[in-house]
Each structure stands twice: as C-alpha cells, then as structure tokens.
C-alpha cells in the first residue's frame, strides 16, 4: 500500500471467472474503506517549476501554499499540480518567497493536460488528495508515510521511541475504488548518530574507533531531523567534515555547514565530525537528486531495529508488546483513523471539495475456507487432519515419520570443555530416544572436541570430514558468523556433507522448561532425517507428472552487485504417488545481467533432474512455478521477460508438451482480514472485491499465528496453461503450504518458496558461491 502502485494487466479480457466455489462460504472484514465519487468533473493538471530551483519538496509545498488565494483549492506534490479552477492562461508566473534565502524566487505554473476521474491519473490524484487530508491531522511525515507524534510510545530503557502510523493506498479494486489502510510503526532512537560516535570515541580513539563506527553504520537507516527523510548509509567519510565544500547544481561551491543552514535553517555545532555517505535514492523524482549525498551525524537519528538489537530478546519483546496488535486492537485503530479523517474539519473539507465520500465502515467481503488437509505420517494409510490451527506437532511426535533414512556413520563436534561435552552426550541420548519413536534409526556418533578459536574448530572439523560421514553435528559456543560461514563452506562447497549447527545453550537443560531439550531433539531429528533424504510427512497429491518450483533471490552480503537466485523443486512422477523427489540449484547473478536467463537455466536443470529420477524418456506434463521476491515495480519485467524466457526454454526440449503455470507470490502486503474480531481460520481464500480486476489473483491465509494479526499471502497467476480450474489451483497451492519440514504446521507460502528462501539466504550470507552439486537432491539447507 505505498501510494499509486503499478497497474500491469496480466488477465486476458475474455478470461474465465477467477472466483472459486470450493469450501465453506462466510464473510470477513478487511482493512479497506470504500471511496465514492459523487461527481465526475474534469480536473486541470499542471507542472510547476521554481526558479532558482528549490530542492526540498516540503519547502516547495510550503512556498506554494502562500499562493492559495490566487489558485484556489489545489493538490500539489511538489511538481504536479491539480486544480478545479482554470487559470487565466496556460502558463502563469508568480513571485514567491523562500524563507531561507534572500534571493527572489519565481514559480512557473504550466498546464499540461486534463484528468478525467475514470483515468489512471485520477487514482494518483486521489492518493495525493488522501495525503493532503492526512496532513491536517497533525501527523508527521516520514518519507511517504504519516506517523502520530501524539501517540508515540517511549521505551526509555533502550533509548527508543515508537511512532504509530499509517500506510494508505487508493486503488481501483474489483468493483470499487478502495482506500486501504495499514497500521505501521517506526522505531526511532532518542539519540543522534553523533551521540553514538562520541561514545565510541570515548572508548577507543583513532583508527579502532573509525573502523568500529564505520562497521556499525554501514547499512543502517537514519532519519534526518530537518526534513524527516530516511537514508541508508553506505559509508563514513572521515576526511570530510561539515566545514568541507561541495559543488551545487549551478557550479557554485558551498560548505555543508552553510548549505544546511541556508536550506533548512539548522546550525551545526561540531565542525570536525565525519560525514555519512548515503546510498543513492532510487525513484526520487524531483530536485532532491541534486542534494549532497553526505549527511551530518549531528542531524541524524538512527531508525529501525539493528541486528544487535534483534539479538536482545528482552528488547524485542518490549517492542513487540506495543507493535504486535491483536485483531481487536487493529480494528479499533482503523476505525479511529477513519473517524479522524471524517470528523476533522480540514480533512472533511478536502474530501468534500474534491467530490469524494469515504465510507465509515470497514469493508466486508465474501470468503471461503477449505476443508482441513489430511496428513500422512509413519502409518501411510492413516489420515491425520491438520487441525483447526493447521498445527500437527503432537501428531508428528506420536505417529512417526513418513519415510526415514538410517543415520549410522556420523560425527559430532563440541567446544573443548567437559561441560559442553556433557551437554552433547545428554542431548544425543535424547535425540536417539525421540528418533526411535519417530521410526528414525540413529547410531552413536564419533564425538570430538575443539577449542573455541575458529581456526582450531575448523582444523578439527576437517579431520572429521576426511572420515566421510553421512552428517556432522556441530555444537558451537556462540553465534559467530565467521565460524558458521567456515563450517558451511567446508561442508557445502569443498565437500558434500550435510551439517547441523547448534549452540551450546540450545542443548543445555532448562530448569524452567524441563521438556526443552527433548523438544529441541525432536526438531533436530526431523531436520537430520530430511537432510539425509527422508520425508517427515506428506499430503495426498492429486496431480501426477508435475514439477512444483519455488524461486527466490538474495543479495550477496559480501558483493554489492551480486545476487543469487535459488530454485527448489519437488518432483512427482507419472504415477500419482505422495512421495516427491527434491532438486535444488543456485545461480549467481551479477548486476546488469538479465535475471530471466538464469531462471530458465535453472528450470532446464530441474527437468533434467526429473528425467534422471523418473527416466530419460519422461517429461512432466505440468510445471507450477511460484516466484517469490518480486518487489515493487518489477511485475511488468517478470511478465514480459521471465515468463517468456521460461516458455522459450521449454519449447526447445518439448514443444507443446510442458504446460507452465506461473504464480507471483507476495508476502509483504498491507491487506488484513478479520473474522468476528479474530483471525480467519487457516485455509481461508478471498478472490473477490479486494482483488484486482487486471489480475487473476487471490489471497490465502494458510497458517495460524499465536500473537497479533495474521497476514494473508497474495497469489497472482500471470500465466496458466495447466488446464485446471481456479478451485484446483487454489487448493493445490494451499496443499503446498503444509510441506515445509522445518515447522510442524502450515506456513504462509508454498513450501518450495520457503525452501528457496532458506537456500538463497544460506548462499547470499555465508557461502557466496553455488553449493556442491552432489547436495542438490537433499534438503541440506534446512
């Protein structure tokens, strides 16, 4: 829900109905409000220039506001101007005053066209109108979103403030124009970046401080206090200070100190502090691109949650207590926001002037819930319902696993202390006991100890690798990334040995939770079986001769211009057997190179793997491709390039034999669904009213959550040759959410997507190159 979103038509004009009928019907509330146009007038659109240029959008808006008596009511985003009133001529020039400059300023208004309320441009105008209405509610704007300082929550123990806010979007949905409202929060530090720098300087001066400060700042997001904008930090420049000069767009030299004073009326105290280098802002359209890419630490506040903060369980709980809203709390916030928009005089006048009426009620929509999925464990003929919460933890412990391997030749390594080795032996005892109950045979491992240094640990690990075990269990003293990286590189690249890494504290007995170690042992036993080729549980598979593929992309944390595309496939042969075979591969992707060629190459590898398993003369009839990781603005590219590249590759090997169905999977969406003040049940499908007319799309709630509000997942079927009904595609997608073996419950996306996400993360963060191909038939990355 970020402003005007892209409208990419992926649905044919004569396409069949996209509404299914399977399941029990009921109704849900949503976080949308209807927006009705009382009239359909013509609106005049203009382009506004400032001479000399004014870089800050909000300053341009403030300067334009002084001309309201001349132009009348308006909508202005800093460059585009919309008016009901027709100006005296097609081009008007007005004198305006810049409060931060003595130089006279002109504002040139040029008419560029008209907007009818049935056009796409009208939706952009309505979004700007909505933002204008919100501006009257005494909210502060951070980037594109609005936050309520009156409702801010202080967390003084951690020097944090939480600002509740709103993300809004007006869009044409299936039958109506709807205003979507998402409740959000912004985490802000009460300290400036300069405060952080001074603290580090007091603890360790010189190069050590510089290195640590740079390491801490790179990748963080800061908010500038003079214009409430956020920037990502790319570097720290210790050779540049506020007294340094830079060149303006007109060629003039100016110091940073003078620039910030003349532009934003802010004074900089410490002229010797280093400068923060920002990542270039993509998509910023106006004159901000002429701003310096340097920021002053003194004028910046840290935002968001750092990795260090995420490791602090108490801190994360303190934040979650305020940000994780129950359904009832979320509904009340939405209704309160709606009431403020309608009852505030200025806001009401904005809606009224632009002939627009906002409904007071949350929109309700038709929905369906599918029957509970049946799962099959050790007793393959016994169907076990997934349960009302799609959680089968108890059933898994008592029913055994669907298919098990034998772990007979394996090793375990732990820190070089008697305590750590004692915890390990006790854990192995629990592990073998629970594995026996799951039908999984685990022999006693060879146990080795290694000192805590990374090099010593790696040396000991190499000696174990040379024994060619089936698997190595690595118990580590802490979560040091370099140690984890070396373990995974040695065993996933140099060799092809599955590993399981656990911290000592994870396997330690817990006096408060006596079943802790046994619970961990159960999860580990399931993972070990998967990594060896076993299958914990299955659902009934109604389709044969099929490859189901999940695809995700992860950026390389060590190389800014490199990414990795991870593909994970489950393959079903000609006979409709419930037991799939797995395949995975990773393709590196350098910046500027077309991603579609890598995707089509990965699919070709999956087809070859299918033939290796089921016979060289065998080809799948259908391929379901679930594409995750499609960001804002990328849908058109996926439709035009990725789908076509895959189809062309499929035509090479088997013209007209391979039927492709391409789903775009989106988890990070603003849509929320409510059922009688609670979350909707797992298996809920919505495919009308809040869906989009240009798409064959649906929302699926596949999982349950213990706290807060569940988030549905959006599925957009952008290409379909399957010959299956909408009901069949929706139901099969729901089935796939039950097959992620790292969790004894349904997940928010098809399992292959979650597997691809795990694999892409492993490679992008730790391996930095494709894994050993001898691992590609197992779920070694769990």
Residues catalogued as catalytic: 552, 628
The encoded tokens of residue 760 equal: 């892409």
In this structure, the number of other CB atoms found within 10 A of the CB of residue 759 comes to 27
Rounded-to-integer distance, Cα 484 and Cα 75, Å: 54
Q: Kindly report the three-state secondary structure assignment for every residue of 666-695.
A: ECCCCCCEEECCECCCCCEEECCCCCCCCC
Q: What DSSP element (H or E) covers 192? A: strand 177-192
- The conformation of residue 292, written as its DSSP 8-state character, comes to -
Dihedrals phi, psi of 548, to nearest 5 degrees: -105, 120
Residue spans of alpha helices (H) in 136-245: 193-203, 206-217
How many CA within 13 A on the CB side of residue 333?
22
Residues 192, 298 contacting (CB under 8 angstroms):
yes
Torsion angle, alpha carbons of 405, 407, 409, 413, to 10: 140
Angle between helix 120-135 and 345-353 (nearest 10): 160
The encoded tokens of residue 562 equal: 């490199």
Residues 492, 780 contacting (CB under 8 angstroms):
yes
Residues 291, 268 contacting (CB under 8 angstroms):
no
How would you classify residue 694: left for phi > 0, otherwise alpha for psi between -120 and 50, otherwise beta?
alpha
3-state secondary structure of 63: helix
- The conformation of residue 362, written as its DSSP 8-state character, comes to P
- Nearest CA-CA partner of 506 in 392, 400, 414: 414
- Nearest CA-CA partner of 504 in 420, 427, 442, 587: 420
Q: From edge to edge, which strands make up the β-sheet containing 24-30?
A: 581-590, 562-572, 546-555, 622-627, 659-666, 713-720, 697-701, 684-686, 364-369, 24-30, 673-674
DSSP3 helix / strand / coil % (the chain, rounded to 5): 35, 30, 40
Residues 256, 246 contacting (CB under 8 angstroms):
yes
Give 260-267 contacts, CB < 8 A, sequence gap 24+: 260/226, 260/296, 260/299, 262/100, 262/101, 263/55, 263/56, 263/59, 263/100, 264/56, 264/100, 264/226, 264/227, 265/99, 265/100, 265/226, 266/225, 266/226, 266/299
């Amino acid at each position: 829900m970020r402003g005007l979103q892209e409208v990419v038509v992926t649905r044919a004009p004569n396409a069949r109905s996209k509404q299914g009928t399977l399941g029990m019907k009921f109704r849900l509330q949503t976080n949308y409000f209807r927006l009705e146009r009382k009239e359909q007038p013509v609106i005049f659109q203009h382009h506004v220039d400032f001479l000399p240029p004014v870089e800050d959008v909000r300053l341009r808006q403030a300067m334009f506001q002084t001309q309201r008596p001349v132009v009348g009511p308006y909508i202005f985003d800093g460059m585009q101007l919309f008016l009901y009133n027709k100006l005296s001529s097609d081009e008007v020039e007005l004198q305006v005053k810049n409060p931060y400059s003595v130089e006279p300023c002109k504002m040139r208004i040029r008419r560029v066209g008209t907007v009818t309320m049935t056009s796409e441009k009208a939706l952009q105008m309505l979004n700007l109108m909505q933002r204008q209405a919100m501006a009257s509610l005494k909210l502060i704007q951070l980037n594109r979103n609005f936050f309520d300082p009156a409702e801010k929550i202080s967390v003084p123990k951690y020097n944090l403030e939480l600002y509740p806010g709103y993300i809004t979007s007006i869009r044409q949905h299936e039958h109506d124009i709807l205003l979507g409202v998402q409740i959000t929060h912004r985490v802000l530090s009460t300290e400036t970046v300069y405060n952080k720098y001074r603290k580090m300087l007091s603890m360790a001066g010189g190069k050590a401080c510089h290195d640590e400060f740079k390491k801490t700042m790179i990748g963080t997001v800061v908010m500038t206090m003079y214009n409430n904008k956020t920037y990502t930090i790319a570097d720290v420049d210790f050779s540049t200070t506020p007294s340094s000069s830079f060149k303006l767009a007109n060629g003039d030299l100016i110091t940073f100190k003078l620039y910030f004073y003349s532009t934003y009326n802010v004074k900089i105290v410490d002229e010797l502090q280093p400068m923060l280098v920002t990542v270039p802002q993509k998509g910023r359209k106006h004159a901000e691109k002429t701003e310096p890419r340097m920021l002053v630490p003194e004028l910046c506040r840290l935002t968001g949650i750092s990795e260090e903060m995420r490791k602090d369980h108490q801190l994360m709980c303190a934040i979650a207590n305020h940000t994780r809203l129950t359904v009832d709390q979320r509904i009340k916030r939405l209704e309160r926001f709606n009431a403020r928009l309608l009852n505030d005089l200025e806001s009401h006048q904005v809606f009224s002037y632009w002939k627009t009426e906002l409904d007071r009620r949350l929109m309700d929509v038709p929905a369906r819930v599918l029957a509970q999925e049946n799962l099959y464990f050790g007793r393959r003929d016994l169907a076990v319902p997934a349960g009302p919460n799609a959680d089968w933890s108890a059933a898994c412990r008592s029913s055994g696993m669907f298919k098990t391997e034998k772990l007979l030749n394996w090793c375990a390594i732990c820190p070089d202390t008697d305590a750590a080795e004692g915890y390990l032996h006790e854990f192995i005892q629990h592990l073998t006991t629970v594995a026996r109950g799951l039908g999984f045979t685990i022999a006693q491992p060879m146990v080795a100890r290694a000192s805590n240094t990374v090099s010593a640990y790696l040396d000991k690990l190499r000696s174990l690798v040379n024994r060619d075990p089936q698997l190595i269990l690595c118990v580590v003293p802490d979560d040091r990334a370099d140690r984890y990286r070396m373990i995974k590189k040695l065993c996933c690249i140099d060799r092809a040995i599955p590993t399981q890494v656990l911290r000592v504290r994870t396997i330690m007995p817990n006096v408060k939770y006596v079943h802790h170690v046994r619970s961990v042992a159960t999860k580990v036993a399931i993972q070990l079986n998967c990594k060896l080729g076993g299958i914990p549980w299955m659902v009934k598979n109604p389709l044969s001769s099929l490859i189901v593929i999940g695809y995700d992309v992860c950026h390389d944390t060590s190389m800014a211009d490199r990414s990795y595309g991870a593909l994970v496939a489950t393959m079903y042969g000609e006979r409709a057997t419930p037991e799939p075979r797995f395949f995975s591969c990773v393709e590196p992707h350098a910046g500027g190179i077309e991603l579609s060629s890598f995707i089509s190459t990965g699919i070709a590898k999956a087809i070859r793997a299918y033939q290796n398993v089921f016979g060289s003369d065998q080809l799948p009839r259908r391929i379901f491709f679930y594409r995750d990781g499609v960001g804002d603005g990328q849908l058109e590219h996926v439709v035009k390039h990725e789908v076509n590249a895959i189809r062309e590759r499929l035509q090479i090997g088997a013209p007209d034999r391979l039927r492709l169905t391409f789903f775009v999977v989106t988890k990070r969406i603003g849509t929320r669904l409510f059922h009688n003040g609670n979350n909707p049940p797992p298996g809920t499908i919505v495919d009308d009213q809040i869906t989009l007319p240009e798409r064959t799309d649906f929302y699926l709630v596949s999982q349950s959550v213990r706290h807060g509000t569940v988030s549905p997942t959006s599925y957009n079927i952008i290409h379909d040759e399957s010959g299956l009904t909408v009901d069949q595609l929706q139901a099969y997608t729901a089935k796939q959410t039950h097959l992620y073996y790292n969790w004894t419950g349904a997940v928010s996306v098809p399992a292959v997507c979650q597997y691809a996400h795990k694999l892409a993360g492993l490679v992008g963060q730790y391996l930095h190159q494709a894994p050993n191909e001898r691992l590609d038939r197992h779920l070694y990355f769990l």
